[in-house]
């Protein structure tokens, strides 16, 4: 290990991921050459992952306010008011690079990190979700990554004891060298007992809690801020190792000392560990911080200041405690068998001073470390709009029935049961709707209130038209929450893109963020937390633009929520929303015709809101007996999913003659839902729709044990279920 007074060479600067002009900025800021520890601190704070230097300027355009928003972006997690004195705390974050290098631990620590963000604010986690993107099934690494990531997510969440209730899994060759693991956690807190990072008071003890500090994860955040090359496998030592057992103890201990009123400020040690947590507490509280590293509990001997400041060992917290409550807090931590050490204090100087072995290893201006981080207005270009593909120009399938059977067994549309059965989704006893539907429904405490939770994005739409794709991700999330009968309240966004230094990637980013902003404004669906993950490329090949949207909605009485399963025979199936037969960028076009082509379906946000409000009202007044949003695969895939979920078939009305049949069944027009209503009420519901300017049409009747399409062979539900269920287990067993 290099000594602290090592001369800082341009090579050393480059090794720390800092550009020459960024280093100049450091020299100007502190008026001298930094020490090695200081250089490490700057590299940890100024990398893309921690500083948002490329994205900040655009993120300011996102709507973040609403009367129910208690805390928007900028804290550990977002907080919204859900009534009765309760708040919902949630956030989604990526752990992409670590998961590609070491899938089990990478994914596990992603879950651990996001859970910590939520309970740091005083909330008990009640649900986890995730959004996973893997390479093509045929790529040699994909099976290994799927297995490892899923086991890692389950391994952490199951042991920690939080139900993992929803998520999404997709496959595409553009993720071959860079999978995406986006984990979301949702917690509940009392509205008046939310905890923040800002320290207050001079001379207050800063307490280190949780696990010991080791040499794992050093430079993890910097690694996550660079592209991958051929050497990505060699970066394994930058991946942290998760310990869900310690985190469970940390959760219980933190909630206990919070309830006892011991805590002034709290910050978890996530990316950039001790460095970022300590500076954040000081900077937000307008205070200086002095740390004495001799006091830091270490897992191994001989760790240098540099290593301690950059370690990303997991399951650690930093707190400012009320001095009079120190003994009480310590006793609680000792009871849970966790480390507790006073490692520093707040000062009036606004300096961040790090001491080790009696020597000052770093002495930096605390606020400027964050606020003076570089901020870039990177050049961007928007790709030319793709032509609209006319349905007439898309090849018809050999048969509608056959096309449906093929689509149900594709990697993206097939059942993800193999994945979510590895997650404990029932712990807590509050899971009203389990994975596999539109949104999970999780009862709030003793009810009758419940949260509706989902993650969504359609990357192929984002690639084809970033603005429409950004809108669509938010709209689909809103629609999924609506389809269970809940009112959408707010989102967390996890923006995964390639290298922002390339104008075309920056163009994707800017377009998607603008689309997200537009949809959030139109749907009163503000962004309260989020995370940006850039440099998702390998050897210059970027992922599909993937802005994952995690949404939270609220339903007043969970017993009124709707699920996708048909409920009984002889009910009318109604299609809400307009069907033009949009096949550009559809699953049909991609997986049946082999074309990834054309403009994606446009999203009319006024129509989204009107159709959604109509469907929600039908659910809440008890008229709709089942509901399902239409998305990937279109109408017929949604119908099949409703049949498979129930075991009840349906006789479908003939497709209209003004659009090609395959465009009707498989088009992906937005703002659409399927609902079932008792047959006797169908006409009245259609009339009610007409009065409110919403399109609703009769598309079939439930009953029997097969889907019956005019002119097609019957499709037994058992056969559809087999198609839907067999692909993923067979693939993971190596049979495909």
Partner 1 sequence: MKAAVLVFPGINRERDMARTLKLVSGQAPAMVWHAETALPAGTDLVVIPGGFSYGDYLRCGAIAARSPVMDAVRAFAAKGGLVLGVCNGFQILCEAGLLPGVLMRNQQLRFICRDVYLKVERSNTPFTRGYNAGQVIRVPVAHGEGNYIADGETVARLEGEGRVLFRYCSPDGMVDPNWNHNGAINAIAGIVNERGNVLGMMPHPENHVEASIGPTDGRGLFAGLAEALAKAA
Secondary structure (H, E, C), 198-247: CCCCCCCEEEEEECCECCCCCCHHHHCCCCECCCHHHHHHHCCCCCHHHH
Secondary structure (H, E, C), 288-346: EEEEEHHHCCECCCCCCHHHHHHCCCCCEEEEEECHHHHHHHHHHHHHCCCEEEEEEEE
Which of 12, 25, 29, 161 is the binder for partner 1 (CB under 8 A)?
A: 161
Residue 421 sits in the site that holds partner 1 (CB under 8 A): yes
Total binding residues toward partner 1, as defined by CB under 8 A: 32
Residue 415 sits in the site that holds partner 1 (CB under 8 A): no
DSSP label of 75:
B
Shortest Å distance, C-beta 179 to partner 1: 19
Q: Which stretch binds partner 1 (CB under 8 A): 351-359, 422-430, 500-508, 683-691?
A: 422-430
Contacts of 309 (CB under 8 A, 6+ apart): 37, 40, 41, 44, 273, 274, 275, 293, 354, 362
Q: Which stretch binds partner 1 (CB under 8 A): 111-119, 148-156, 541-549, 583-591?
A: 148-156
Residue 559 sits in the site that holds partner 1 (CB under 8 A): yes
Which of 53, 425, 460, 609 is the binder for partner 1 (CB under 8 A)?
A: 425
Residue 734 sits in the site that holds partner 1 (CB under 8 A): no
Beta carbon nearer to partner 1, 338 or 706: 338
Shortest Å distance, C-beta 85 to partner 1: 20
Shortest Å distance, C-beta 163 to partner 1: 9
Residue 535 sits in the site that holds partner 1 (CB under 8 A): no
Q: How far apart are CA 345 and CA 129, in angstroms?
A: 37
Among candidates 354, 312, 112, 108, which has minimal Cα distance to 213? 312
Shortest Å distance, C-beta 433 to partner 1: 10
Residue 665 sits in the site that holds partner 1 (CB under 8 A): no
Shortest Å distance, C-beta 248 to partner 1: 6
Beta carbon nearer to partner 1, 56 or 248: 248
Q: Distance of CA 271 to CAs 92, 149, 648, 659, Å? A: 14, 20, 49, 52
Shortest Å distance, C-beta 142 to partner 1: 18
Residue 40 sits in the site that holds partner 1 (CB under 8 A): no
Contacts of 31 (CB under 8 A, 6+ apart): none
> Has 49 been annotated as catalytic?
yes
Q: If phi over 0 gives left and psi between -120 and 50 gives alpha, with beta otherwise, what is residue 317?
A: beta
Residue 436 sits in the site that holds partner 1 (CB under 8 A): no
Q: Which stretch binds partner 1 (CB under 8 A): 299-307, 405-413, 426-434, 710-718?
A: 426-434
Residue 249 sits in the site that holds partner 1 (CB under 8 A): yes
Q: For residues 443-462, which are near partner 1 according to CB under 8 A?
A: 443, 447
Q: How far apart are CA 152 and CA 157, in angstroms?
A: 8
Q: Distance of CA 449 to CAs 119, 520, 633, Å? A: 21, 24, 32
Residue 322 sits in the site that holds partner 1 (CB under 8 A): no
Shortest Å distance, C-beta 92 to partner 1: 22
Q: From the candidates 49, 58, 219, 425, give the one annotated as an active-site residue.
A: 49
Residue 414 contacts residue 724 (beta carbons within 8 Å):
yes
Beta carbon nearer to partner 1, 158 or 238: 158
Shortest Å distance, C-beta 724 to partner 1: 16
Residue 49 contacts residue 221 (beta carbons within 8 Å):
yes
Which of 302, 337, 594, 734 is the binder for partner 1 (CB under 8 A)?
A: 337
Shortest Å distance, C-beta 417 to partner 1: 8
Per the DSSP assignment, residues forming a β-bridge with 259 are none
Beta carbon nearer to partner 1, 497 or 558: 558
Residue 375 sits in the site that holds partner 1 (CB under 8 A): no
Q: How far apart are CA 217 and CA 564, in angstroms?
A: 43
Shortest Å distance, C-beta 249 to partner 1: 6
Complete edge-to-edge strand list for the sheet that includes strand 571-576: 626-629, 673-678, 571-576, 696-702, 650-652, 706-708, 715-716
Local structure of 547: helix, strand or coil: strand
Which of 63, 73, 154, 270 is the binder for partner 1 (CB under 8 A)?
A: 154
Which of 105, 109, 133, 158 is the binder for partner 1 (CB under 8 A)?
A: 158
Q: Which stretch binds partner 1 (CB under 8 A): 268-276, 319-327, 418-426, 630-638?
A: 418-426
Residue 390 contacts residue 411 (beta carbons within 8 Å):
no
Task: Note the residue count of the chain.
Answer: 736
Residue 64 sits in the site that holds partner 1 (CB under 8 A): no
Q: Distance of CA 34 to CAs 3, 13, 280, 364, Å? A: 13, 11, 20, 9
Residue 427 sits in the site that holds partner 1 (CB under 8 A): yes
Q: Distance of CA 443 to CAs 299, 431, 556, 563, 703, Å? A: 40, 6, 10, 15, 31
Residue 243 sits in the site that holds partner 1 (CB under 8 A): yes
Beta carbon nearer to partner 1, 302 or 337: 337
Q: Is 435 exposed, middle or buried (0-12, 13-18, 19+ CB in 10 A)?
A: buried
Q: Which stretch binds partner 1 (CB under 8 A): 355-363, 385-393, 421-429, 646-654?
A: 421-429
Give me the residue label for tokens 């839902």.
673
Shortest Å distance, C-beta 189 to partner 1: 16
The tokens for 341 are 């050490």
Q: From the candidates 95, 97, 425, 628, give the one annotated as an active-site residue.
A: 95
Which of 23, 478, 558, 614 is the binder for partner 1 (CB under 8 A)?
A: 558
Q: Are strands 180-190 and 124-134 parallel, antiparallel or unpaired?
A: antiparallel
Residue 607 sits in the site that holds partner 1 (CB under 8 A): no
Which of 374, 399, 428, 704 is the binder for partner 1 (CB under 8 A)?
A: 428
Give me the residue label for tokens 């100049």.
24
Which of 220, 244, 577, 700 is the binder for partner 1 (CB under 8 A)?
A: 244
Which of 57, 70, 151, 593 is the binder for partner 1 (CB under 8 A)?
A: 151
Which of 240, 279, 313, 430 is the binder for partner 1 (CB under 8 A)?
A: 430
Residue 424 sits in the site that holds partner 1 (CB under 8 A): yes
Q: How far apart are CA 724 and CA 353, in angstroms?
A: 59
Per the DSSP assignment, residues forming a β-bridge with 213 are 298
Residues labelled catalytic: 49, 95
Q: Which residues bind partner 1 (CB under 8 A)?
A: 151, 154-155, 158-161, 243-246, 248-249, 336-337, 420-432, 443, 447, 558-559
């Amino acid at each position: 290990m290099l000594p602290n007074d090592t001369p800082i060479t341009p090579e050393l600067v480059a090794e720390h991921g800092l550009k020459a002009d960024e280093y100049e900025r450091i020299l100007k800021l502190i008026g001298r050459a930094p020490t090695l520890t200081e250089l490490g601190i700057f590299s940890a704070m100024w990398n893309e992952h921690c500083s948002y230097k490329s994205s900040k300027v655009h993120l300011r355009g996102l709507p973040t306010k609403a009367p129910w928003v208690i805390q928007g972006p900028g804290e550990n997690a977002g907080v919204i008011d859900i009534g009765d004195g309760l708040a919902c705390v949630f956030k989604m974050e990526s752990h992409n690079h670590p998961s590609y290098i070491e899938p089990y631990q990478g994914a596990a620590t992603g879950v651990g990190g996001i859970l910590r963000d939520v309970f740091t604010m005083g909330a008990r986690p009640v649900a986890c979700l995730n959004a996973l993107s893997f390479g093509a099934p045929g790529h040699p690494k994909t099976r290994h990554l799927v297995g490892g990531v899923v086991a890692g997510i389950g391994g952490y969440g199951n042991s920690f004891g939080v139900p993992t209730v929803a998520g999404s899994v997709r496959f595409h060759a553009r993720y071959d060298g860079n999978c995406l693991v986006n984990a979301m956690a949702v917690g509940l807190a009392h509205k008046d007992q939310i905890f923040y990072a800002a320290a207050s008071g001079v001379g207050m003890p800063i307490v280190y809690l949780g696990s010991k500090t080791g040499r794992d994860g050093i430079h993890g955040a910097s690694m996550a801020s660079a592209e991958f090359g051929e050497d990505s496998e060699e970066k394994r030592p930058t991946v942290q190792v998760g310990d869900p057992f310690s985190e469970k103890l940390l959760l219980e201990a933190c909630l206990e000392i919070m309830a006892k009123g011991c805590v002034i400020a709290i910050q978890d040690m996530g990316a950039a560990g001790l460095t970022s947590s300590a500076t954040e507490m000081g900077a937000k509280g307008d205070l200086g911080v002095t740390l004495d590293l001799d006091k830091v509990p270490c897992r191994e001997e001989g760790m240098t200041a540099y290593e301690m400041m950059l370690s990303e060992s997991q399951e650690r917290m930093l707190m400012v405690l009320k001095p009079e409550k120190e003994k009480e807090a310590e006793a609680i931590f000792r009871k849970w068998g966790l480390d507790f050490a006073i490692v520093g204090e707040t000062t009036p100087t606004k300096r961040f001073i790090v001491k080790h072995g009696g020597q000052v290893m770093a002495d930096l201006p605390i606020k400027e470390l964050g606020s003076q981080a570089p901020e870039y207005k990177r050049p961007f270009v928007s790709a030319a709009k793709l032509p609209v593909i006319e349905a007439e120009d898309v090849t018809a399938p050999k048969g509608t029935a056959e096309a449906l059977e093929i689509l149900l067994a594709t990697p993206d549309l097939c059942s993800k049961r193999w994945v979510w059965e590895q997650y404990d989704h029932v712990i807590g006893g509050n899971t009203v709707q389990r994975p596999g539907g539109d949104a999970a429904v999780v009862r709030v405490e003793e009810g009758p209130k419940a949260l509706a939770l989902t993650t969504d994005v359609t990357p192929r739409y984002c690639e084809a038209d970033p603005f429409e794709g950004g809108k669509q991700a938010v709209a689909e999330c809103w629609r999924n929450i609506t389809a269970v009968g809940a009112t959408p309240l707010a989102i967390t966004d996890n923006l995964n893109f390639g290298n922002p230094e390339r104008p075309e990637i920056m163009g994707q980013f800017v377009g998607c963020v603008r689309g997200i902003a537009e949809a959030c404004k139109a749907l009163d669906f503000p962004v309260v937390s989020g995370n940006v993950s850039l440099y998702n490329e390998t050897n210059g090949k970027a992922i599909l633009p993937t802005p994952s949207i995690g949404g939270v909605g609220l339903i007043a009485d969970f017993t009124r929520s709707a699920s996708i399963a048909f409920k009984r025979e002889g009910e009318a199936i109604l299609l809400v929303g307009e069907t033009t037969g949009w096949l550009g960028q559809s699953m049909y076009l991609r997986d049946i015709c082999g074309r990834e082509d054309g403009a994606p379906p446009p999203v009319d946000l006024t129509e989204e809101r009107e159709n959604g409000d109509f469907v929600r009202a039908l659910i809440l007044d008890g008229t709709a007996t089942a509901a399902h949003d239409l998305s990937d695969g279109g109408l017929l895939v949604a119908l099949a999913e409703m049949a498979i979920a129930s075991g009840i078939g349906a006789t479908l009305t003939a497709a209209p003659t003004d659009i090609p049949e395959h465009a009707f069944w498989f088009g992906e027009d937005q703002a659409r839902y399927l609902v079932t209503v008792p047959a006797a009420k169908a006409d009245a519901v259609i009339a009610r729709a007409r009065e409110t300017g919403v399109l609703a049409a009769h598309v079939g009747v439930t009953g029997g044990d097969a889907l019956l399409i005019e002119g097609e062979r019957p499709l037994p539900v058992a056969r559809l279920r087999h198609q839907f269920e067999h692909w993923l287990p067979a693939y993971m067993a190596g049979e495909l």
